Chain A
Amino acid sequence: MVQRSLVQKPLPDSTPKKFLTTNLNRRFVLVFTTLTLLIVASIAMYIYSRTFANAFRLGVPMTPTAFNSILGRTIPHLVAMVSSAILLAVVSLSFQTITQSRVLTPSMIGFDSVFVGTQTALVFFLGAQHAFFADPIVNYFLTSGIMVAISVFMFGAILRSSRNNIVFLLMFGLVLSGIVNSGASYLQIIMNESDFFQVAAATSVNINNIAVNIVWVALPILVIVVFAITWRHRRFNVMSLGPEQAKSLGVHYERELKLNLFLIALGMSAATALIGPLTFLGLLAVNAAREILKTHKHLPLFVGSAMMAVLALVLGQGVMELLQGAIPVTAIINLVGGSYIFYLILKENRI
């Protein structure tokens, strides 16, 4: 297949291109530096609020021994928050690209209800003493296995039968969480009292009650998912052109779709088990990164939204600890995120 060259002589490279790239790069450097500094500051504030601020309030001196001991308990919390925030951001951006929407996050499909439902069913049918429930590690793997299975089945079935029908996906998630929630409440009502308290304790995982006992199990999974997704950033760029165009440009679209949905489900289950549901964090972080970075390229967006999510979570949690829980950080994130999604829906006039 011999082809002639399009034009014999390429145009001399024009200056506007160089100007624009340096301009964009300067913006990236500025944004990333600022975010890094802010994140470091908020981590410092978080640690300060858990150590010195507490000691001052209680009127006791902060000895190095006490500091180290508190730090030892704080670090798993920090690791859980930072890794989950990064994951939520990365997963949200990937979900938005494959669903061609700026308004969706995988949290909206109802992972928390599946989590609660699984725990309740385990206790009801096997008892609170069974290793599946009592052993945190076994319980974690079982729960996330079920969440991955359900969501892969759900995403797969929906995306296969009605190509990218987002409304259908949302409706399905809504109905599923409704059914699972009421089923779980029913089981919780008829189970005996001690079992109920066990379930309540296990399912009250949230940002103030991080499941630190599974941090070191969930962390590798979070790291693997984040790297597996961000590593494909060039493919995501092409996939943002839409399924047909991506296929025509040589992306094995169905395979990418399945793989990404699996990675999203795996990561979401780990994050939900670790720090509980944070519906709007990913959405907020991704869209903030889009606005600030003014790019559609996925690599800077992945990094930017991960940093935004970490900042929002750690800063919010630091402030909350400093104010002794006067303002719960999830409430703020959900309030701001909820308002923002209203704004996005109204502005884009579509979901």
Chain B
Amino acid sequence: MIEVKNVTQSYGRFADRDILKDVSLTVREKSITALVGANGAGKSTLLGVMTNLVPARQGVVTLDGVDIRKIKTAEVSKKVAFLKQTQQLSVKITVKDLVEYGRFPHCGGRLRTADKLKVEEALSYMNLADIKNSYLDEISGGQRQRAFIAMILAQDTPYIFLDEPLNNLDIRYSVEMMKVVYRLVSELGKTVVVVLHDINFAAAYANHIVAMKDGEIVKEGSPDEIITTEVLNPVFDHDFHITCCEGKSVCLYYDKASKRCAI
């Protein structure tokens, strides 16, 4: 169980603006929580605080009731996995090597049979068994993203935090990615917190949406509660047109003046 209690965060010694202002949040177990909001709303910072990559300055984040700052980094990494947006690595590395690094928290880099088994499982779960000896810079963006997810699966943590996993992915790979995230929750019982820019992806796949603005949580709730003009318009400072398609709320966020975009 991960709980954020009254966290206030600012960068730099003389920062007059708080990135997070008195944020409290309880992460829902075994479901997808999406953080949405405009640029600079503090979504990534909140993710950093929850994973202890950026330790909280004021307030506390607890992992199973214990202050996460007091838990050793190596122990946190057995419970919490974090993945940045699609990244370009400076090293030439194969898919399998990357996934093997996921076992680092458990074996310190010395892979035993059990670790190798986990790696193989993660590779086949992500359909990467055929390309496991390919280098990361030689495969497609979608495959690369799957390789990173496989690494996190090998890390074998109950909590997974994804920071803008859909960045630089085209529509097909984005959908594929969100399906994978959905399976992580439905099949493997993981708890996923994900920062999403596209609210329609949040509406379609998340169980719980947290809308943030200027370092504060404006509202959290189910997609139906959040995907409303009353909530979204002030959060994004934009006029939304919300419609219903196949039982799900869909946001149209194009300029209303160009009528061709509206349905």
Partner of B109 from A13, A234, A240, A244 at Cβ < 8 Å: A234
Sample 17 A-B pairs with CB under 8 A, ordered by A number: A1-B158, A3-B158, A3-B189, A11-B120, A11-B124, A102-B90, A240-B89, A240-B91, A245-B84, A245-B87, A248-B51, A249-B77, A249-B101, A249-B104, A249-B155, A251-B73, A296-B97
In the complex, which residues of chain B have a beta carbon less than 8 angstroms from the beta carbon of A101?
A: 90
- Minimum CB distance partner of B126 in chain A: A6
Q: A10 and B53: CB pair below 8 A? A: no
Query: Cβ of A247 < 8 Å from any Cβ of B?
Result: yes
Query: Cβ of B5 < 8 Å from any Cβ of A?
Result: no
- Minimum CB distance partner of B122 in chain A: A6
Q: A3 and B156: CB pair below 8 A? A: yes
In the complex, which residues of chain B have a beta carbon less than 8 angstroms from the beta carbon of A17?
A: 96, 132-133
**In the complex, A297 Cα to B101 Cα: how many Å?**
11
Tell me the minimal C-beta distance from B37 to chain A in angstroms.
20
**In the complex, A3 Cα to B78 Cα: how many Å?**
13
Q: Which residues of B contact A (CB under 8 A)?
A: 51, 53, 73-84, 87, 89-93, 96-98, 101-102, 104-105, 108-110, 117-118, 120-122, 124-125, 129, 132-133, 153, 155-156, 158, 187-190
- Minimum CB distance partner of B124 in chain A: A11
In the complex, which residues of chain A have a beta carbon less than 8 angstroms from the beta carbon of B190?
A: 3
Partner of A6 from B90, B102, B188 at Cβ < 8 Å: B188
Q: A240-B91, A250-B104 are in contact. List 15 more A-B contacts (CB 8 A).
A: A2-B189, A16-B133, A102-B90, A237-B101, A242-B84, A245-B83, A245-B87, A247-B53, A247-B73, A248-B53, A248-B77, A248-B81, A248-B83, A296-B91, A296-B97
In the complex, which residues of chain A have a beta carbon less than 8 angstroms from the beta carbon of B97?
A: 296-297
**In the complex, A6 Cα to B129 Cα: how many Å?**
14
- Minimum CB distance partner of A3 in chain B: B189
**In the complex, A101 Cα to B133 Cα: how many Å?**
24
Q: Which residues of A contact B (CB under 8 A)?
A: 1-7, 10-11, 13-14, 16-17, 20, 100-102, 234-235, 237-238, 240-242, 244-245, 247-252, 296-297
Partner of A7 from B84, B93, B96, B124 at Cβ < 8 Å: B124
* Closest A-B pairs by Cβ, 6 of them: A234-B109, A250-B77, A248-B82, A250-B105, A250-B74, A6-B121
Tell me the minimal C-beta distance from B164 to chain A in angstroms.
13
- Minimum CB distance partner of B110 in chain A: A234
Q: B120 and A10: CB pair below 8 A? A: yes
Q: B89 and A242: CB pair below 8 A? A: yes
Partner of A250 from B78, B87, B118 at Cβ < 8 Å: B78
**In the complex, A238 Cα to B187 Cα: how many Å?**
28
Chain B CB count within 10 A is highest, among A3, A5, A7, A250, for A250
Known: A244-B84, A252-B73. A10 touches B121 (CB 8 A): yes
Partner of B104 from A11, A102, A251 at Cβ < 8 Å: A251
Tell me the minimal C-beta distance from A230 to chain B in angstroms.
13
Tell me the minimal C-beta distance from B139 to chain A in angstroms.
15
- Minimum CB distance partner of B105 in chain A: A250
Q: B101 and A238: CB pair below 8 A? A: yes
Chain A CB count within 10 A is highest, among B78, B91, B133, B156, for B91
Tell me the minimal C-beta distance from A79 to chain B in angstroms.
32
In the complex, which residues of chain B have a beta carbon less than 8 angstroms from the beta carbon of A296?
A: 91-93, 97
In the complex, which residues of chain B have a beta carbon less than 8 angstroms from the beta carbon of A10?
A: 117, 120-121, 124
Q: B108 and A234: CB pair below 8 A? A: yes
Q: B125 and A6: CB pair below 8 A? A: yes
In the complex, which residues of chain A have a beta carbon less than 8 angstroms from the beta carbon of B129?
A: 11, 14
In the complex, which residues of chain A have a beta carbon less than 8 angstroms from the beta carbon of B120?
A: 10-11, 13
**In the complex, A5 Cα to B154 Cα: how many Å?**
11
- Minimum CB distance partner of B12 in chain A: A161
- Minimum CB distance partner of A12 in chain B: B120
**In the complex, A3 Cα to B105 Cα: how many Å?**
17
In the complex, which residues of chain A have a beta carbon less than 8 angstroms from the beta carbon of B121?
A: 5-7, 10
**In the complex, A330 Cα to B248 Cα: how many Å?**
70
Q: A241 and B101: CB pair below 8 A? A: yes
**In the complex, A346 Cα to B92 Cα: how many Å?**
18
In the complex, which residues of chain B have a beta carbon less than 8 angstroms from the beta carbon of A252?
A: 73-74
**In the complex, A13 Cα to B125 Cα: how many Å?**
15
Q: A235 and B109: CB pair below 8 A? A: yes
Q: B133 and A20: CB pair below 8 A? A: yes
Tell me the minimal C-beta distance from B132 to chain A in angstroms.
7
**In the complex, A338 Cα to B120 Cα: how many Å?**
44
In the complex, which residues of chain A have a beta carbon less than 8 angstroms from the beta carbon of B53?
A: 244, 247-248
